[in-house]
Chain A
Amino acid sequence: MKNEYEPVIGLETHVELYTNTKMFCGCRLSFGEEKNIYTCPVCLGHPGSLPVINKKAIEYAVKIALALNCKIKKYTIFHRKNYFYPDMPKNYQISQYDMPLGVGGYLDIDMGSYIRRVGITRVHMEEDTGKLLHKGTTGRISESEASIVDFNRAGTPLIEIVTEPDIRSPGEAKGYMITLRNLILFLNVSDCSMEEGSLRCDANVSVRKTCEDKIGTKNEIKNLNSFKFLQKGLEYEVKRQIKVLETGGEVIQQTRHYDSKTGTTKVLRSKEEAHDYRYFPEPDLVPIYIEDKMIEDIRKTIPELPSVKAKRFEKQHGLPKYDSSFLANNKDLSDYFEQCCRHYNNAKNIANWIMGDFSALLNKEKIIIKDSRVTPENLCKMLEIIDKGKINSKIAKAVFEEMFSTGGDPQKIIEDRGLEQISDEGLLEAIIEEVVKDNPGAVEQFREGKDKAIGFLIGRVMAKTKGKANPRIVNDIITKKLS
């Protein structure tokens, strides 16, 4: 093996759960509303107030831990994590320390040509912090005069998922995040929006020579808040560390911030004193004992997960691996696909439309498939119409676009707009006659053996029929006529 550098990456992911209320009090969770309207003495850290654990949050956390193949610790407690930063009014965050809820799991990442199994060190529960808005022109901490704190988010149930340093490339890191997000979306416990901050990721990165077993000095990279930034930020950081080592330097343990504008990472702080959080057991909360029955009850609520679903799609519907995995990894798409399969039996056709034109329009309009106006029934109706040769594939695109914007019935759209394919040979022959007469040059070229010329002639026929001519029949007639 060549003696090259390889990255060693571990990820820490935070997932906000979408319970109705906060982790330790009855305040609602906020979704970008007015500041400081969902607070109470508990989440404002007033003296004498007492936190009480949200049962639903525990159930969601167990669900995530089980789906990540973790062992559930039956006996678990909360700790206080002490630090000075005004994002928590208590000056500590209630978190878990040496007794996390779940340990020793894994998540398999399908990298196409291989599977990377990423070990899950731990899954633990904590509360989210408040949001700091930095006053000043740029919004950057270093350039602001004061900070404004919004405690609406303080106390939101948060799950932290920590991996083993098993990830070996920025691409794998991105693959892990995508797989994890899809998995959690299936569990229906979080909306996992990186844009909204309900799914956040920090990375620990080091590099080493491939021949070494020892892991190098790591840096923690923050602000990797999109799949793209995660990959770009790691790529930059890996290159930076290799350069440091190759020029005889030493990697210093630091916390670095990814700047998406410059595509670089900058030092936030060196890891010294600052990271002594003086954890101690939270005296305001009693221990949690998770009984076997509770674990089994929660296990029953876990739906078929993406990896299993993908295999089933291949087997049951005969889809290619790529299509199966594409659909199975998205809960909405896979639900829609399966609904379609009940109405129409060419699964590959359904998959092609969902993955192609349909997805393109969904992305353009920024909506998800279940909010679109095209019902599975109508999509299948359209596919049947295409199969019967009533419209060609080009017209089908136009019909589909109209279905997408109006929610209309495909048959009716075709009738109303007179889009039915012209397969009447007599009619087509007359049009072709005209086209041949008007384009002697192309006819000449075709006779000289230039195959491209027939495409031009068919194109003319299509233009004259507004795209409605049956291209196969047109092709046959022209070929016969000119040879």
Chain B
Amino acid sequence: MERISKDDVKHVAELAELEFNEKDIEKITSQLDRILDHVANVSSVNTEGIPPTSHILDIKNVFREDMAEKSVTQESALKNAPDEANDGFKVPKID
């Protein structure tokens, strides 16, 4: 059974700002299809009465108090910037 179409792959690629040629699209579609097939094995497990969970650990309410901690300096913050200007991260023009 086909779990994913070529159009789905094109859509996801576009969202991820990736470009592929037709040949690659076909290859990726069949690969993803197999991966989804594999993951679908999960549905063979009986989950009746088990509530959905969003986290693997059975813990809740992990909070911090509203206390200020030291931030890093501007210099070290900008160390990882691809480019910098005027004390800021310089990025290409956005369309």
Contacts and interface: CB of A to CB of B under 8 A. Distances in A.
Interface string A67-86: 00000000001000010111
A333 B78 CA distance: 45
A54 interface: yes
Contacts of A286: 55, 57, 59-62
Contacts of A53: 62-64
Nearest to A280: B54
A20 B66 contact: yes
A212 interface: no
Interface centre among A35, A77, A82, A145 (most CB of B within 10 A): A35
A148 B86 contact: yes
Contacts of A77: 54-55
B80 A35 contact: no
Nearest to B55: A286
Interface in A9-44: 19-21, 25-28, 34-41, 44
A77 B60 CA distance: 10
A147 B93 contact: yes
Contacts of B17: 84
A44 B80 contact: yes
B42 interface: no
Main secondary structure of the interface of A (DSSP, over half): loop
A151 B89 contact: yes
A28 B69 CA distance: 8
A35 B87 contact: yes
A146 interface: yes
Contacts of A278: 15
A145 B93 contact: yes
Interface range on chain B (Cβ under 8 Å from partner): 35 or more
A146 B90 contact: yes
Contacts of A55: 63-66
Contacts of B71: 27-28, 37-40
A54 B93 contact: no
Main secondary structure of the interface of B (DSSP, over half): loop
Contacts of A367: none
A56 interface: yes
B72 interface: yes
A415 interface: no
Contacts of B57: 286
B45 to A, nearest CB: 19
A287 interface: yes
B60 to A, nearest CB: 5
A164 to B, nearest CB: 27
Contacts of B94: 85-86, 132, 141, 147
Interface centre among A86, A141, A144, A285 (most CB of B within 10 A): A86
A361 to B, nearest CB: 37
B46 to A, nearest CB: 23
Contacts of A451: none
Contacts of A289: 60-61
A239 interface: no
A339 B74 CA distance: 46
B77 A39 contact: yes
Given A39-B72, A141-B94, A288-B61, A86 B89 contact: yes
A144 B85 contact: no
B66 to A, nearest CB: 4
Nearest to B89: A149
Contacts of A149: 88-91
Interface in A269-289: 273, 276, 278, 281-283, 285-289
Interface of A: 19-21, 25-28, 34-41, 44, 46, 52-58, 77, 82, 84-86, 132-133, 135, 141, 144-151, 273, 276, 278, 281-283, 285-289
The 8 A-B residue pairs with the shortest CB-CB distance, nearest first, are: A26-B69, A148-B88, A281-B54, A56-B66, A55-B63, A149-B89, A35-B87, A86-B91
13 contacts: A21-B67, A36-B87, A52-B62, A57-B66, A132-B94, A141-B94, A146-B93, A147-B93, A148-B88, A150-B88, A273-B15, A283-B56, A287-B55
